[in-house]
Amino acid sequence: MVSLADNNTIFIGKKPTENYVFSTIMLFTNGAPEVSIKARGMAIKRAVDVAEIVKNRMESMMKTQVSYKEIKIATEKVQREDGESNVSSIDIVLKK
């Protein structure tokens, strides 16, 4: 399964895009009013893909309208062996 916090958040990692799409739709199906999709660095593109696929699929197959409540981008500090470095992050909040 996909990494999942208590508060209806999906953290995007290196698994196939479909895994995260499935988990996000499951959260909505189980009653979540909104789902936050979070990613850093190279996973940012996948987060955008997941959000768009979920939105389009829920509209076309489940006749359920979802919209973007908020899309935030930020910079986070990450500890590496050779010191601290910056990494961009995204947080996409989908709302049913």
5-13, 20-28, 59-67, 84-92 -> range binding a copy of itself (CB under 8 A): 84-92
Q: Considering the rule CB under 8 A, would residue 85 count as an interface residue with a copy of itself?
A: no
5-13, 22-30, 64-72, 77-85 -> range binding a copy of itself (CB under 8 A): 64-72
Residue 35: closest CA among 45, 13, 50: 50
Neighbours of 78 (CB within 10 A): 11
The set of residues, in sequence order, having a beta carbon less than 8 Å from that of 45 and lying 6+ positions away, is none
Contact positions toward a copy of itself, by CB under 8 A?
A: 41-42, 44-45, 48-49, 51-52, 56, 68, 71-75, 86, 88, 90, 92
